[in-house]
Amino acid sequence: MYSLKRKITRNLTINMIIVMSVLLIVMYFFMQQLLRDYVLTRLVHDAESLISAVEPDANQRWQVMPGRMSAVYERVRSGHYYQVSVDGQDLLSRSLFDTDIPTTAGNADFSGHYLTPGPGSETWLVWVQQIRKKGQALNIWVAEDIEPIQQQLRQYTFYALALVLLVTAILIYLQQRILGQSFYIFTWLRENLSSIRHRKAQQPGLQIPLEIAPLVTEIEKLVDHLRNRIERTRHTIGNLAHELKRPLQLLSMQQENEKNSAQAEPLAEIKRILERELKRAKISGSSKAGGDFIIADEMRFMIAVMEKIYPQIEVELACENLAEPLELDRDDMLELTGNLLDNACKFASSKAVLAIRVTDRRLTLIFEDDGKGLDTRQVEEIKQRGVRLDETVAGHGLGLGICNDIIDTYQGSLSFSASALGGLKVTVQIPLELADTQYPEP
């Protein structure tokens, strides 16, 4: 079993991180390209200024006319450099003082731009251009150190990364809130279905989304259908037992008059089965199927029933003040406790005891009597048969088939041992966390 909410959150978070990372990389690439294009535009402009500033002097030697270029080229290692090669002369900017200029791999016809390491930690963006002026070929080389700009770009990228992380965290938080509000409908639905199952008032005030409305309707129909079927089945069994009791009495009287011993045992067995079903109907009462199991109230009723059925037996209830309802089916618990307590009273000599303990995770029911009990072989036989002894086996009469089915429904356990009273001790343990599975809150 997995959490759909956590899975959606995880996938959305991963996708958001991937998208934000790709967006940040693309932004960094385009910003870097934009800055390079801006610097390159400036280099091309300086190259054009340099072309207009290069003139021959009176001795026909080429020179860069003073005051025609920016003063930044006059400061040593200023980050702005130029070189003009014309007619065997190399005209260098003062900023290139004692600095070797990287070549373009010997390709004198190269025109364009490239990146190259400069002196120290500098990174040069270079623009190279060849033109002809006054019949002479001029090779223009202009460079600018873009390392300070790249440092600024990396700094801004770091700020952008921090901003992206902050935005991502905010989006994840908002996403969690939206998912929590969206998934609350399932918590509300679970609680209302539990209310239907336990016959409590439903929680109003929440509109069911169209996507799950058909599911809710079908579940409610299924719960009502199963509850009605259980009611009809129990009523039918009780009515059948009542209706058969009178014809059985007539058959018994006829058998006694005719003194037919062959019919005595089958009639006695039918009578025993009818009495058992009438007891079950009496124990379950007239309530509808479902409802919480309130131990304090139900056990008082149970003890009163047993005292009427077995007036010669002292029935003792040993439990704390258990007024809080347990989310266990009332009729299941009444049938389980009634059947086992009936067995204890049936085989007791004078006393039967029911002890109840409730913890946060487990309901424990202990039934004891002061009768003859079972010997070791019989106890082992019960264990080996998986607590499924046939109710018709003479001498046992434990009625464990129905009890075992109920206990299996709640994934509980049933065990047998010798009682300190001298008879049999039956211990039932039912995990409460399985009776009402808890789901994570949104």
Domain that holds residue 258: 208-289
Domain match, 381 and 265 both? no
pLDDT of residue 109: 64
Assigned domain for 178 exists: no
Asked if residue 276 belongs to a domain, the reply is yes
User: Do 338 and 262 lie in a common domain?
Assistant: no
Residue at 44 is within a domain: no
Within a domain: 372: yes
Last residue in a domain, options 239, 256, 289: 289
Q: Give the CB-side neighbour count of residue 223, counting CA atoms within 13 A.
A: 18
278 and 295, same domain (yes or no): no
For the segment 121-152, what is each residue's pLDDT rounded down to a tens digit?
889 999 998 888 888 888 999 999 999 988 98
pLDDT in tens, the chain (442 residues): 667 778 888 888 888 889 888 988 998 899 889 988 999 999 999 999 998 888 888 888 888 888 888 888 888 888 899 998 888 888 888 888 877 776 544 445 678 889 888 888 889 999 998 888 888 888 999 999 999 988 988 898 888 889 888 988 898 888 888 888 777 777 777 777 666 655 555 555 566 777 777 877 787 788 777 777 777 776 677 677 666 766 777 777 776 776 666 666 667 767 766 666 665 555 454 444 455 677 777 888 888 888 888 889 888 888 765 666 777 777 778 888 888 888 888 888 889 999 888 877 788 899 999 988 877 777 776 655 444 444 443 433 445 767 877 888 788 888 888 888 888 899 999 888 544 444 344 3
Which of 239, 267, 289 is the endpoint of a domain? 289
pLDDT at position 45, please? 93
List, for residues 332-366, the tens digit of each pLDDT value.
788 888 888 888 888 888 899 998 888 777 888 99
pLDDT of residue 341: 87
Per the structure, how many domains does the chain have? 2
Please indicate, yes or no, if residue 10 is contained in any of the structural domains. no
360 and 261 in one domain? no
Pair (353, 441) in one structural domain = yes
Exposure letters 193-223 (e unless 16+ CB within 10 A, then b): beebbbeeeeeeeeeeeeeeeeeeeeeeeee
Considering the domain architecture, whether residues 242 and 357 belong to the same structural domain is answered as no
Verify that 360 and 442 share a domain, yes or no: yes
Tell me if 193 is assigned to some domain: no
Task: Provide the CATH number for the domain around residue 409.
Answer: 3.30.565.10
* Domain identity same for 231 and 344: no
Give the pLDDT score at 321: 57
Residue 359 in domain: yes
283 and 297 together in one domain:
no
Same-domain pairing of 263 and 343: no
Domain boundary among 251, 273, 289: 289
Q: Quick check: 123 and 117 in contact, CB under 8 A? A: yes
- In-domain check, residue 32: no
Whether 402 and 333 share a structural domain: yes
Residues 279 and 309 in one domain: no
Q: Provide the pLDDT for residue 105.
A: 40
